[in-house]
Structure 1
Amino acid sequence: MAEPFPRGPLVLPADLEKAITAHMRGAYPQEGCGLLAGAAGRVLAWFPCRNVHPDPLMAYEADPRDLIAAFRKMEARGWELLAICHSHPQSRARPSAADVRQANYPEALYLIWSLADRDRPEVRGFWIRGGQVTEHPVRVE
């Protein structure tokens, strides 16, 4: 399956990056999560989701109601799912073994916000397919 934006980085507007970072910090010490939508590798919208995982300190599961609402808005606007994002409150921005096992959307990039250094959050993107992890650049502008 081809990536929706294989030739360049995912372009994340600075205002959305700030909003996502605020959401992830607000979820701390739990993992925050949400979806990014847009077209041609350019993020146009951020859909924050509530984490309903039974152990939200160690994993995330987006509230199904939030997911349904986000996908309805995407469809109505003709946008595609570009990325699924979540935070790692205490660890680096690298997919964990659980992240790899739970990566059920091979057409979406997975963005991880590390809050290990809460003053300098780090975001990195990854394709996760068939248990294989490949980093993909993310450019904030």
Structure 2
Amino acid sequence: MIRWPEPGWPLAVRDAVVHHLESAYPEEGCGVILQTGDAGPWRVRPLRNAAARPHTAYAFAPEEWLAVSMEADARAERVVCVFHSHVESPATFSPEDRAQAAPEGHPLLPGVSYLIGSVHRGCVVWVCQYGWQGDDFRLQEP
């Protein structure tokens, strides 16, 4: 059983995130979770990892991020979570994650949480969610 930090997320969302992260192994998988309004349906949008070192980092391709942004606008959705995996390592918010999510100490996507899945031997074994609180990203407890 995977420890999942947000019990309110639909099982289909959890399954889609886990499936994508496991299928990306041995590279880091990444994507976003979108929602229509505040209580509307959820959608998982896996993205290709365009990082130069995809075994140890993730990055969205600019053209794919633009496409997601345009899709979300057209569907009246908003990004509620960015997700990615850490391969053979813990689901902690790393210094590199922090530098990418909040360069110069300010979050690029205010109000968006970050979900990190720890993938070992091709299986997600632990998931942690982080959110901006005060002046840094902190672990969000269920």
With the length of structure 2 as denominator, give the TM-score of the two structures: 0.80
Which has the higher mean CA deviation after the structures are superposed, 10-19 or 90-99? 10-19
Distance, in Å, in 1 between the alignment partners of 2:111 and 2:7 is 13
Conserved? CA contact 1:11–1:41, under 8 Å: no
Query: Percent of aligned pairs with the same residue?
Result: 28
**Which stretch shows the higher mean deviation, 36-45 or 77-86?**
36-45
2:131 matched to 1:116? no
Q: How many residues align?
A: 130
Contact kept, 8 Å, 2:22 with 2:123, in 1: the verdict is no
Alignment CA distance shift 1:119-1:27 (3 Å): closer
Amino acid across the alignment from 1:85:
F
* Residues 97 and 46 of structure 1, relative CA distance in 2, 3 Å threshold: same
- Give the superposed CA RMSD: 2.3
After TM superposition, give the deviation of residue 136 of structure 1 in Å.
2.0
Match of 1:12 among 9, 29, 33: 9
Contact 2:22-2:124 within 8 A present in 1 as well: no
Residue 22 of structure 2 corresponds to residue 25 of structure 1 = yes
Q: Which residue of 1 aligns with 2:80?
A: 82
Specify the alignment match of 2:55 in structure 1.
57
| Structure 1 gap ranges (5+) | 1-8
- Matched letter for residue 92 of structure 1: P
What is the CA–CA distance in structure 2 between the aligned matches of 1:11 and 1:75, rounded to whole Å?
24
User: Equivalent residue of 2:71, what SS?
Assistant: helix
Q: Name the CA distance, whole Å, in 2 between partners of 1:58 and 1:81.
A: 24
CA shift at 1:22, angstroms?
A: 1.1
**Take 2:133 and 2:49, find their aligned partners in 1: how far apart are those partners?**
23
1:42–1:96 CA distance, 2 compared to 1 (3 A): farther
CA distance in structure 2 between the aligned counterparts of 1:60 and 1:49, rounded to whole angstroms? 10
What's the secondary structure of 1:18's corresponding residue?
helix
Runs (4 or more) in structure 1 with deviation over 4 Å come to 117-120
Alpha-carbon spacing, 1:102–1:41, altered in 2? closer, same or farther (3 Å): farther
| Pairwise CA distance, 1:133 | 2.1
Distance 2:57 2:78 in 1: 25
Paired letter, 1:122: W
Which residue number corresponds to residue 5 of structure 1?
none
| Conservation of the 8 A alpha-carbon contact between 2:50 and 2:61 | yes
